[in-house]
Copies of this chain bind each other. A is one copy, B any other.
Amino acid sequence: MDDKDAELTTDDTVDAAPAEIAAEQQLGLSDEFIREIVLLLEEDAASGIREKCTALSAPDAAELLTKVGPLRHRLVDILEDDLAPESFSYLSYEILNDLFSNMSGPHIAAIVGELESDDAIHLIDELDETRRSEIMRHLSRKVRAVVEEGLNFPEESAGRLMQREFVAIPQFWTVGKTSDYLRAASESLPDKFYDIFIVDPMHKYIGSVTLSDVLCTQRNLKMESIVDENRVKVPVTMDQEQVAQIFRRKDLLSAPVVDDVGRLIGVITVDDIVDVIDAEAEEDLLSMGGVTDSDIYSSTFATARSRSTWLLVNLVTAFIAVSVISLFEASIEKIVALAVLMPIVASMGGNAGTQTLTVAVRALATKELSAANAWRVIGKETLVGILNGVFFALLLGAVVWWWFSSPLLGAVIATALVINLLVAGFFGAFVPITLTRLNIDPAPAAGIFLTMMTDVIGFFAFLGLATVFLL
């Protein structure tokens, strides 16, 4: 893999078409490669595996450990020190705890000690309680102090995201002195940094200078003269979603993190923010589907258990909906076509409501929808419901008229559909807006509540109207 990569990028004449290079080299491992390693693992061909895997990047190694399944223990044993410690910080909760269950405390502590501060904290945080305290005992005093401090910050806060390694200089330095300092001190600086922070003698944050500004400014000018004083500073307790919002708005590469008296204590970099954005997007998507976490690598039993909560809620709301049907048993007994048709009204309402809900939940998350335009949106969604209600009512009414040769049954189902789509539009917007105003995350709760509503209204309107007009 890696030889080929180096060859392709140092070669002046590109042989393969660029798109192919990309598909093959840059986007994780191919399924063929993983199958090959699985075969080698099954044959216990240690040297073959080491040869193929030594040069894997950390994310690639993590992907391999994940996808080879239970063979991953053998893979770790074979690769040993060829496996970069960073590989472990890319693993999901389940895989990490599975792997660590077979490793000694000192071994794990040695891995943690090699990581950057934010990765070390994240990794320790992923461990099971009992394992965590065991590993902590084996950490060096310095690393343990950093990890303990980090774990004290609230989950998903800036304190958990930040690195403690950054470049800070006093405000009176010139560009030239700063450049000389960077060259002289390069050994003790972080591997990569994206901004230089300026602090006062009390280590309070004053402002940031981008590296391109340092490079493009005359050496005799003061750093103060090119400082960006409007640069946002992030309080250490700020929620990570808000931090991401700041990076989006300001197109930042890194942001200073300050404690409650304004002292600079860390830096958050944009690559961590990309991870946050991915994680938040995943959370939103999964919770709309009634799942709390990506459980793709959880055990069967754990998955079934975590999903059952949601199914239980759905069972209760389903009983509420069908209790409406039971009110009309007598009508159904007389006209059995009602039983056949009633799911259509409920289903159309559920789908129309979900459409509105999805748009509203997303717009609330991106702040496109807020108190300033809430009523305008609710009004529009209600109108959309009425418009589509009337359109599909005509269509459905005609089909039902033709199918059951009953114009009155067609009229009843058409009216019920208009009512249900109106309700779906109104509540599809109203429910998430109201939940958000009450500081409740609308993504998981709103859907089930809305579907219950469109079921209840759908059944009640259709069966009720039928009872009044057809019996």
Q: Is the CB of B245 within 8 A of A27?
A: yes
A160 within 8 A of partner (CB):
no
Q: Within 8 Å CB of A466, what residues of B?
A: none
Q: Is the CB of B372 within 8 A of A67?
A: yes
A28 within 8 A of partner (CB):
yes
Chain A 291-328 against B: per-residue CB contact (8 Å), 1 yes, 0 no?
A: 10011110011011001101110110011011001100
B6, B21, B31, B233: the one contacting A230 at CB < 8 Å is B6
**CB pairs A–B below 8 angstroms (16 shown):** A9-B231, A12-B200, A12-B262, A14-B262, A22-B232, A35-B372, A179-B179, A182-B215, A194-B253, A270-B271, A300-B387, A310-B355, A311-B355, A315-B344, A325-B340, A343-B346
Q: Is the CB of A238 within 8 A of B19?
A: yes
A329 within 8 A of partner (CB):
yes
**A419 shortest CB reach to chain B, Å:** 16
B12, B189, B271, B354: the one contacting A290 at CB < 8 Å is B354
Q: Is the CB of A388 within 8 A of B207?
A: no
B218, B258, B291: the one contacting A183 at CB < 8 Å is B218
8 interchain residue pairs of minimum CB distance:
A289-B358, A18-B235, A281-B281, A339-B339, A186-B216, A211-B211, A251-B271, A304-B387
Q: Is the CB of B296 within 8 A of A274?
A: no
Q: Is the CB of B344 within 8 A of A248?
A: no
Q: Within 8 Å CB of A27, what residues of B?
A: 242, 245-246, 249, 367
Query: Which of A103-111, A125-133, A136-144, A390-398 makes up part of the contact surface?
Result: A390-398
Q: Within 8 Å CB of A22, what residues of B?
A: 232, 234-235, 238, 242, 246
Q: Within 8 Å CB of A388, what residues of B?
A: 304, 307-308, 311
Chain A 30-48 against B: per-residue CB contact (8 Å), 1 yes, 0 no?
A: 0100110010000000000
